[in-house]
């Protein structure tokens, strides 16, 4: 699948999730963190099968362990 097609399909899936999330519970397994932060009310983050954080998107975005594992930011010493 071409990169442009994948992005188009991804936007389509996000649109569908945005439409149905008010009516049903959605379990989203996703590595596109922009999509996760945009769609989720509550996020649980796993690293190597181990839960490292759970909470609201704002709390997850600020969590040092999550930032290091998924957002690629080094923790200050």
pLDDT digits (tens, 9 = 90+) for 9-40: 777 888 888 888 889 988 888 888 888 898 89
Distance CA 23, CA 36 (A): 18
pLDDT, mean of residues 46-69: 93
Beta strand 43-47 with 50-55 is antiparallel
Regarding pTM above 0.95, the answer is no
Higher pLDDT pick, 67 / 1: 67
Secondary structure class of 9 (helix, strand, coil): helix
pLDDT band at 74 (very low <50, low <70, confident <90, very high): low
Torsion of CA 65, 70, 74, 75, to 10 degrees: -10
Please, which residues have CB within 8 angstroms of residue 62's CB and are 6 or more apart in sequence? Answer: none
pLDDT, mean over the chain: 82
Distance CA 54, CA 46 (A): 9
pLDDT computed for residue 58 by the predictor: 95
Length of the chain: 77
């Amino acid at each position: 699948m071409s990169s442009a097609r994948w992005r188009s399909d991804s936007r389509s899936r996000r649109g569908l999730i945005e439409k149905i999330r008010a009516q049903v519970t959605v379990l989203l397994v996703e590595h596109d963190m922009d999509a996760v932060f945009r769609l989720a009310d509550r996020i649980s983050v796993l690293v190597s099968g181990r839960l490292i954080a759970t909470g609201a998107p704002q709390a997850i975005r600020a969590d040092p362990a999550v930032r290091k594992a998924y957002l690629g930011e080094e923790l200050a010493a």
